[in-house]
Amino acid sequence: MPIKVRKRISKVKKRLFFLLTALLLTLNMHAYQRYAFGLNVNTSVVEFEARANVAPLTSDPVFRNFYADFNYINDNDSLIGVGAFVENVFYNYHPLMFQVGIKSVFTGHGGKDFMALPILFGFKHKVYSGNIPIGTLGAKILYAPSPLAFQDADKYLEYRIEATLQIIENVELYAGYRNIDTDYKGASLNYTDSGYLGFRFIF
């Protein structure tokens, strides 16, 4: 079998593995007390995302603000992200919440394989109608310098701005803008630079 074909099969197997892992996480979400999954689109890109609170897996209260998350973006090349983060309020100011975490990102382009472990920093601020929270405004950045980039990757940079609006119980609409750079060794590549609109189920 030609080397090029073997590499292609290996890449397909890798992506199927991570998609299967994400599916298993989704199917087991009934074990979580707090989870969400959403879908957003624009004219050329679709993204599926899911997150789950890991607190029910342990009796230790220190983990009540730990989350596992997954996203899959289908642009010209597929991008898969699997990670974990901590989310908590800013001291005693409950409308403002900060996020810190790490993520593993996998993609490829032109026969090259890309893997990175970006560090995540983010925040979101609740928007109220009277005393009732009806949405959020937030942003996040993920960055992996060369020491956290592997295979053919050189570095990874992603930033997002997003607004949400809860329209009914357990359902929210959201809109945002994302920019993702997947730089390879010897070549810089902007993976996507676009706005998006979607909906999210939250339980």
pLDDT single digits (tens) 93-116: 989 999 999 999 999 998 899 999
Average pLDDT over residues 170-196: 94
Q: Which of 64-68, 152-156, 168-172 has the highest mean pLDDT?
A: 152-156
pLDDT of residue 29: 44
* Burial class of residue 84, CB neighbours in 10 A (0-12, 13-18, 19+): middle
Architecture in CATH for domain 3-202: Beta Barrel (2.40)
Query: Which pair of structure tokens corresponds to residue 3?
Result: 């080397």
Tell whether the model's pLDDT for residue 203 goes beyond 90: no
CA 144/CA 153 separation, integer angstroms:
10
pTM over 0.85: no
The helix/strand/coil state of 44 is coil
By percentage, how much of the chain surpasses pLDDT 90? 62
Side-chain-facing half-sphere of 19: CA atoms under 13 Å: 13
pLDDT score at 104: 95
The Cα 120–Cα 158 span in angstroms is 9
- Please compute the mean of the pLDDT values over residues 81-103 and round it to a whole number: 92
Residue extents of the structural domains in the chain = 3-202
The answer to whether the CB of 107 falls within 8 A of the CB of 116 is no
